[in-house]
Structure 1
Amino acid sequence: MSAAELLEAIAAWPLASAMRRSAILYLVVNATHILAIALLVGAIVPLDLRLLGFFSNTSLDVLGPFLSRAAAIGLVLAVATGFCLFSVRPSAYADNPAFLTKLALLAVGAVNAILLQSSNAWRVAEAGGRVAGPVRLSAGISLLVWPGALLAGRWIGFL
C-alpha cells in the first residue's frame, strides 16, 4: 500500500467521516485533545523542574510516580485524539511542515521518556535517592521537547 493509499484509507475511516459531518463531534474530539495535552504538559513540567532541582522540598518518591503516570495517560489520550483529528484531513497534514515537526518532537519526547523510565538512575531518583546527571539531562530535554511539540501543534493551523 502506497502512502497516498494509506492516507485515503485513513480519510475513509468511519470516525473521520463522522467528524467531517458533525461539528459537535469534531469539537468534542478537539477539546479532548487539548485536555490531554494539558494533562501531559501539566504533569511533565513540574516533574522535570523537580528533577532539575526546583521544589526540592517535595518528595520525588511521591511526586515521581504520580506525575509520570499522569503524563503517560495524557500522552496516550493526546495521540489517540490527535490521530482522530489527523484522520479528518490526512493528506493536508502529511504535507504540513509544522505537523511533521510536531510528530518528530513527539517521537523524541516519547523515546526520551522511555529511556529515562527504564534507567536505573531514574529508579534511584524515584525512590528518593540522588538525581543523577543523566536524569537531569533527560528532564532538560523534556522541558524543551514537550513545549516545542505544543508550539508546533499550534503552528499547524498557520501554514
Structure 2
Amino acid sequence: MEWLAPLAETGVARALIAAPTLYLLVNAAHIMGIGVLYGSILALDLRILGLNRSVPLHVIAGFLSRMAAAGAGLAILTGLCLFSVRPVEYAGNAAFLAKLALVAVGLAHALVLHRGIGWRRATTDGHASAALRLSALASIIIWTSAIVAGRWIGFL
C-alpha cells in the first residue's frame, strides 16, 4: 500500500494536516453528506416498505433520490479529501475496506434499481412491487452496514 503514500503530500492533504480547523470542517461536511445520503435513502426505503402511505411514493421518490445522490457526492468528495491525509493507514484498515465495499455495493444497488421496471412503475403510479420492497430492505441493510463500518474505522 506504500504506493498510496504520495497522496499525503498533495496540496489538499497538506492543507488538511496544517489547518486543524479545515480538517474539522471537511470532516463535518463528510458527516453532513452521509446524513443527507442516509436520511434520504432511509425515508424513501421506509416509504417503499409501506410506512406513511399518505405520502404518495411517486411524488417523493424523485426528490429523495436526488437528495441521496447529492449527499453521496458530498460524502465521496470529502471522503477522498480525508483519505488523502493518511492513505496508507486507511488502506490497511479492515473497517475502511469494508466501508468502501459496502458503499460500492450500495451505489451499484441504487444504479441497478433505478434502471429497473419496478422503480419506473413506483415513480409513475406509486405501486411498490414485492421485488421493490425487498430491494428497499436490502438498501437499508447495506447503507446501515456502511455507516457502522465507517464508525468502526476509528476503533481498529
One-letter amino acid of the structure 2 residue matched with residue 98 of structure 1: A
The alignment status of 1:44 with 2:41, answered yes or no, reads yes
Structure 1: gaps (5+ residues): none
Q: Structure 1: how far apart are the matches of 2:146 and 2:118? A: 26
Residue equivalent to 1:14: 11
Matching residue of 1:96: 93
Once the two structures are superposed, the pairs formed by residues 137-152 of structure 1 within 5 Å of their partners are: 137-152=134-149
> Could you say which residue in structure 1 is the equivalent of 2:52?
55
- For these two proteins, the number of residue pairs brought into alignment is 156
Q: 1:133 aligns to what?
A: 130
Name the structure 2 match of 1:112: 109
Aligned to 1:87: 84
Aligned to 1:4: 2
Q: Identity rate of aligned residues, in percent?
A: 49
Displacement over 6 Å in runs of 4+:
none
Answer whether contact 1:59 1:128 (CA < 8 A) is retained.
no
Aligned mates of 1:83, 1:151 — CA distance in 2: 19
User: Which of 118, 121, 124 is matched with 2:118 structurally?
Assistant: 121
Task: Read off the aligned partner of 2:146 and give its amino acid letter.
Answer: A
Q: CA deviation at 1:62?
A: 1.1
Q: CA RMSD in A?
A: 1.0
Question: 1:138, CA displacement in angstroms?
Answer: 1.4
Structure 2: unaligned runs, 5 residues or longer = none
- TM (norm. structure 2) is 0.96
Q: CA deviation at 1:12?
A: 1.6
After superposition, what is the alpha-carbon deviation per residue over 1:97-145, rounded to whole angstroms, capped at 9, x for unaligned? 1101100110110011000011111010011242112211211111101
- Contact 1:51-1:131 within 8 A present in 2 as well: yes
Amino acid at match of 2:63: F
What is the CA distance between 1:58 and its match in structure 2? 0.8
| Counterpart residue type for residue 133 of structure 1 | A
**Partners of 1:9 and 1:63 in 2: how far apart?**
44
